[in-house]
Structure 1
Amino acid sequence: MLPKINQLIYLQVASSDEEEASIEYKTRIADETEDEMLIELPVREGTSRYKRLFIGDELSAYYVSSDGVKHYFNSHVLGYKEDVIRLVRIRKPEPDSITKVQRRNFLRVGAELEMAVHFSGLRFLVVTDDLGGGGVSFLSDGKRPIKDGLEMECWLLLPYRNGSVDHAHFKAEVVRLKKLESGRLQIMSKFTRISENERQKIIRYCFERQFELRKN
């Protein structure tokens, strides 16, 4: 059963940061099309603070049916629509993908992939840590001048299940650095400039990766 217009939806946004990913937001379905739902800007539960969503952000959402049952689904942000208020366009879930069991794997997946990074005349290779339609995180030895707000140009190597290999090109902004017990840094970034074609390459890889993880 799909949620209806005016239905309240509660969602969490995929993030490499467990604390950030656990925050729950509330929104309402304002309109819909055949393939999309248009939601109001999400508000953090218990506050009046809005959550800014970016194209490609992966969402884990649920709504409560009239009989009090929670129904869960995954989606991602497609864009925006300027109306009387600004609405967020998200992918409408397939009816058979809605479940009464919560799934917290999002479209973001753990993935060790080669990625070339370029900024300020520096160019080097890194290994990714996780990946999704809205961003990527990777590991660094901490010797390079990477800081919050830095914009990087990246080329990501994507091996698919059929044996083919592709590259995704994008620009990404560093949003957080986290020091690991190993002494290395986890660099978390969000895409700032990426074509829809390049984003779909990444989302395809994530779906294939999810499938492999579920089999194991």
Structure 2
Amino acid sequence: MIKAGTTLQLEPIHNDTFERYRCRVVEIGEEGLFIDYPIHTKTEKAVFLIDGTQLKASFIVNEQTVLMFETEVKGRKLSKIPMIHIHYPGEEGLEKVQRRQFVRVEANTDISIKINEDYFPTVTEDISAGGCAVLVRKGMDLKSGSNISTTIVLPMQTGENQYVEIEGKVIRVWEKGHKKVASVEFVHLTKKQRQLILRYCFERQLNLRKKGLLE
């Protein structure tokens, strides 16, 4: 299923900045995969990954579906080109995911977070059908692993606002410049909620492209 020449998308599992890299499978061995040095998708510069780095890797098998697996940098190999050795769990370790679920867009939309019976209004930094990053304001006691309730306002292209109430789990909290940001994973989404968020992300992408802010 995976073969030499396959392009992989890599994302650090502990990914505070939502960085993504791309690379190519050069060789496949019994001990894992050997890839060329990854390129940062935004800076287009080579990325150095230290041994032990844990990653999520994905590759496209058709226009709508990707296969994803968790991996780890095992070492390096010198051949005609320098390569990085990463773990490969085999076909039984692959997870099938709809490609559209990966769409994440930068968006500052209103969100209310319920913490210990108190409600805190804030804004998102970005959003996808899988979760969002939110600005942590003063007084918001958000900790990794906390379960929260959210109400997100999605301003649609039609001019209407869609209010989506979603349960979430705080994955990480970190400093970003002079502000604090938390990544939230959505849990127990209904099909309607997921479709609304996907629609919003799609419309937001189109809007950013029109403004020349997204390739």
2:98 to 79, 91, 98: 91
* Structure 1 residue 211 displacement after superposition: 0.4
* Structure 1 residue 192 displacement after superposition: 2.4
SS in 1 for 2:195: helix
Q: Which residue type is aligned with residue 8 of structure 2?
A: Y
Q: Which residue type is aligned with residue 174 of structure 2?
A: K
Q: Which moved more, 1:151-160 or 1:118-127?
A: 118-127
2:71 is matched with 43
2:171 paired with 1:175: yes
1:145 is matched with 141
Structure 2: state its 5+ residue gaps.
23-37, 39-55, 74-83
1:122 is matched with 118
Please tell me whether the aligned partners of residues 65 and 98 of structure 2 are also in contact (alpha carbons under 8 angstroms): yes
Residues 187 and 33 (structure 1), Cα distance of their counterparts in 2 relative to 1, 3 Å cut:
closer
Residues 142 and 48 (structure 1), Cα distance of their counterparts in 2 relative to 1, 3 Å cut:
farther
1:21 is matched with 20
Residues 18 and 49 (structure 1), Cα distance of their counterparts in 2 relative to 1, 3 Å cut:
farther
Q: Give distance in 1, aligned partners of 2:88 and 2:147.
A: 25
Structure ID, larger Rg: 2
Indicate the RMSD between aligned Cα atoms, in angstroms.
3.4
Q: Name the count of aligned residue pairs.
A: 165
SS in 2 for 1:18: coil
Residues 140 and 161 (structure 1), Cα distance of their counterparts in 2 relative to 1, 3 Å cut:
same
1:77 is matched with none
Residues 28 and 163 (structure 1), Cα distance of their counterparts in 2 relative to 1, 3 Å cut:
closer
Q: Which residue type is aligned with residue 192 of structure 1?
A: V
Please tell me whether the aligned partners of residues 16 and 137 of structure 1 are also in contact (alpha carbons under 8 angstroms): no
Q: Which residue type is aligned with residue 176 of structure 1?
A: R
Instruction: Give the TM-score normalised by the residue count of structure 1.
Output: 0.62
Please tell me whether the aligned partners of residues 149 and 167 of structure 2 are also in contact (alpha carbons under 8 angstroms): yes
Q: Give distance in 2, aligned partners of 1:28 and 1:112.
A: 29
What fraction of aligned residue pairs are identical, expressed as a percent? 23
Residues 206 and 19 (structure 1), Cα distance of their counterparts in 2 relative to 1, 3 Å cut:
closer
CA deviations over 1:46-89 (Å, ceiling 9, x no partner): 455579xxxxxxxxxxxxxxxxxxxxxxxxxxxxxxxx824312
Q: Which residue type is aligned with residue 17 of structure 1?
A: D
Instruction: Give the TM-score normalised by the residue count of structure 2.
Output: 0.62
Please tell me whether the aligned partners of residues 142 and 185 of structure 1 are also in contact (alpha carbons under 8 angstroms): no
